[in-house]
Chain A
Amino acid sequence: MARVLFTPHVGGLLVLIAVIVIAPYFFPSNFYFRIFALVWIASIAVVGLNLLMGYAGQVSLGHAGFYGIGAYAVAVLPHHFGVPSLIALVIGLVVAGGLAYLVGRPILRLKGHYLAVATLGMGILIAMVITNEAQFTGGPDGMSVPRLELFGERIRGSDTWYWISGATLVVICWLALNLVNSPTGRALRAVHDSEVAAQVNGIDIAREKLKVFVLSAVFAALAGSYHAFMGPTITPVMADFLHSIELVIMVVIGGMGSVFGSVVGAAFLVTLPQLLTVFDEYKFMMLGLLMMAFMIFLRDGIVPSLGKLLRGRFAPAKAEEPSSPKASEPSEAKPS
């Protein structure tokens, strides 16, 4: 029993559920429901991006674009075209996934970090469209979002969205963990370690990367839709480049290739600015310094570093095999 509970898979999910359920008891005010709802929402996007970065080894610098698509889909479609909110949400997910497919399919056949550049351009383009199509989107001032109605009830209030986004995050983490521990996940991790070896073992690397890129775009769009529903207003800032960078930083700080690291990274970056308000105008400077500190002292990210520390301390003493220097250096994937 204990063994099952402490596998990262089940144990981690239980911890996450416990945190989501218990945290509200410590909230000093209702305002915190909103902040932590934003943490769970950001986490949904970051878990997807982490699958792409931490497992497939690809960087997207335009994920906020997908976030923006999700957000504006549930705002524009119901407001201007009378589309029911829930259907608008699904349309947003499909559009984001479809766009990811169109951008990713030609790009992911190329070796190297072309995806980062392509998504960078795509993200900027999406933000520009949102800003400029003011008759639909309200331009830079943003727009208000019609409330979601489920079974005749209007879904409103930060506390409601806290529970909805928290529950959704648990499902998203479960999906991500499933994927990691499946043939697809093994293929992705293989691609990350050695593309050449992955190929000769029959893995169509372009295809596997494309799948996870599309999935990550859909997760980001879902997060955007939730954010918009919680409202009260949305602005093009959600889709802009800085937000994309923020998502990438959440992945890196939490830990690449760690599903729960994604949540920790998101929590860190969403709550930190609130804590740093005491520094007033030096807030961003403090944020920058903290990031540098992370890159210097915790390069693997919070969760993997902690994991390593705990394993080192509590693991049963097991004779490590002496590793020859030649073998332990992952050589660049280039056959000579």
Chain B
Amino acid sequence: MTLLNVDGLGIAFGGVRAVDNVSFAVPPGVIFSIIGPNGAGKTTLFNLISGLYRPGMGKVWFDGKPATGLPPHQLANLGLSRTFQNLQIFFRMTALENVMVGRHLREHRSFLSNLLHLPATRRQNAETRDAAHALLERVGLSDYADTIAGNMPYGALKRLEIARALATDPKLLLLDEPAAGCNPVETEEIDALILDVKWQGVTVLLVEHDMKLVMKISDRILVLDHGEVLAEGTAEDVRQNPAVIAAYLGEHGQKEIARADG
């Protein structure tokens, strides 16, 4: 049983194969990380899986259903949600409202009822508000509930985006560099949050540059280079794979690993 199955996925931009013949399978309940040097095609792969780009070739199955080229809102409905490397926050809405938007799919939202503010809509608003408060609490942002997102610090926004993604009740959560630009304390918090998400039964697909974080929490790791799969396995496998060491980690990478071990 696999939750996400990617088979021979590829896309080219003006002749450059950003992602080329990538295949892998993500079993449910794990943290599956994708690493690789800058420009390896990690974010492009995310955009393909989450429906923002239409693949040029290959297939995607999600939760046993064909999901190739489905628009993002339909994938969200199937249980796939994501965050973005370069924050996609609703900056003019409060933190609470941001998370409330994440409940959209699970909301009763008849246009007429919304227009007339019928009891169903009032109940729904209260329900959504409660759910959003609970999620803000879970990511430690309760104090910011009524703050306009545009006025929140960067580290908090990173967690806000995760809370919003969780609000969709996903089966699979795609996190694109959740710790990018965060200080060590914030990274630690995000690390704990990702593990917590996993324990709650949500499968995590993670792109992250922070090697220490990746090695510590990943169940499986996929290494991309120049849009192609270089290796796949446990943290231990990847660490010892000579091709990975040569192509990606290099001398500097080995030092990083030594530090992560120590």
Interface, chain A (partner B; CB < 8 A): 175, 178-179, 181-187, 189-190, 192-194, 196-205, 211, 215, 320-324, 326-328, 330-331, 333, 335-336
Contact = CB atoms under 8 A, between A and B. Distances in A.
B121 A182 contact: yes
A324 B73 contact: no
A324 B153 contact: yes
The 4 closest A-B pairs by CB, nearest first: A182-B114, A202-B76, A202-B105, A197-B88
Interface in B52-87: 52, 71-73, 75-77, 81-82, 84-87
Given A175-B116, A320-B151, A335 B101 contact: no
B101 A186 contact: yes
Nearest to B108: A183
A321 B151 contact: yes
Contacts of A327: 87, 89, 150, 152-154, 157
Given A196-B88, A200-B76, A200-B82, A323 B43 contact: no
7 contacts: A183-B114, A321-B147, A321-B151, A327-B153, A333-B88, A335-B52, A335-B84
A229 to B, nearest CB: 24
B187 to A, nearest CB: 16
Interface in B111-126: 111, 113-117, 121, 124-125
Contacts of A203: 73, 101, 104
B121 A194 contact: no
B91 A178 contact: no
Nearest to A196: B88
Interface stretch (B1-9, B92-100, B197-205): B92-100
B97 to A, nearest CB: 6
Given A202-B76, A203-B73, A321-B151, A186 B86 contact: no
Nearest to B97: A186
Contact of A201 (B43, B81, B85, B93): B81
A178 B116 contact: yes
Nearest to A211: B111
B82 A190 contact: no
Given A197-B84, A327-B154, A182 B109 contact: yes
Contacts of A193: 89-93
Nearest to A176: B115
A328 B125 contact: no
Contacts of B220: none
Contacts of A198: 90, 101
Contacts of A322: 153
